[in-house]
């Protein structure tokens, strides 16, 4: 599944797979967010809906979707990442940082989490810590 353009720009992650999922295409074209509610046990469905909403700058609604997904699968580092991106978009940097820390507890080799942690730290004025995160992201193969 490919990520919306904002995702790649904020995260530094490369899009996965070929083509956009229907919900993401709809968001990119300015259509409404997916109307179907994901199944109560479908963490990936909640993530997908959250990404579609975030792509339309509906960050609060996206956060609610990510939280639903995390209730189902709290060990999904990608959901922690996506929640952090949405919080950063709302300039809620301390909460954003906490999400990246949770994600790194799960997957300490995720260069995107390290990079975005650095971005959040820099936004909080913690430049030296941010630089250490950027170095770690580069060591892990991130840009």
pLDDT at 31 over 70: no
- Tens digits of per-residue pLDDT, 108-123? 999 999 999 999 999 9
Contact in structure between 70 and 100 (CB atoms under 8 Å): no
| Cα-based distances in Å from 143 to 39, 46, 63, 87, 93 | 36, 28, 26, 22, 22
Per-residue pLDDT band at 4 (split at 50, 70, 90): very low
Q: Decide which of 129 and 33 is more confident.
A: 129
pTM of the model: 0.77
Q: Which of 12-16, 30-34, 72-76, 105-109 is predicted least confidently?
A: 12-16
Domains and CATH numbers, the chain: 5-27+38-139 (1.25.40.10)
Amino acid 36: pLDDT: 79
Q: Which one is predicted more confidently, 2 or 35?
A: 35
Residue 3 reports pLDDT greater than 50: no
Burial 97-132, CB ≥16 within 10 A → b, else e: bbbbebbbebeeebbbbbbbbbbbbbeeebeebbee
Quick: pLDDT tens for 65-90: 999 999 999 999 999 999 999 999 99
What integer is the mean pLDDT of 22-48?
67
Does the pLDDT value for residue 42 go beyond 60? yes
């Amino acid at each position: 599944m490919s990520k919306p353009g904002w995702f790649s720009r904020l995260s530094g992650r490369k899009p996965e797979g070929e083509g956009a999922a229907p919900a993401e295409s709809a968001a990119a074209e300015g259509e409404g967010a997916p109307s179907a509610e994901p199944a109560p046990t479908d963490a990936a469905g909640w993530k997908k809906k959250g990404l579609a909403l975030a792509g339309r700058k509906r960050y609060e609604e996206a956060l609610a979707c990510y939280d639903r997904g995390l209730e189902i699968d709290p060990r999904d580092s990608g959901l922690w990442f996506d929640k952090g991106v949405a919080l950063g978009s709302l300039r809620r940097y301390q909460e954003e940082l906490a999400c990246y820390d949770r994600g790194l507890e799960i997957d300490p080799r995720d260069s995107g989490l390290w990079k975005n942690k650095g971005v959040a730290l820099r936004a909080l004025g913690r430049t030296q810590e941010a630089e250490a995160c950027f170095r770690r992201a580069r060591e892990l193969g991130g840009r």
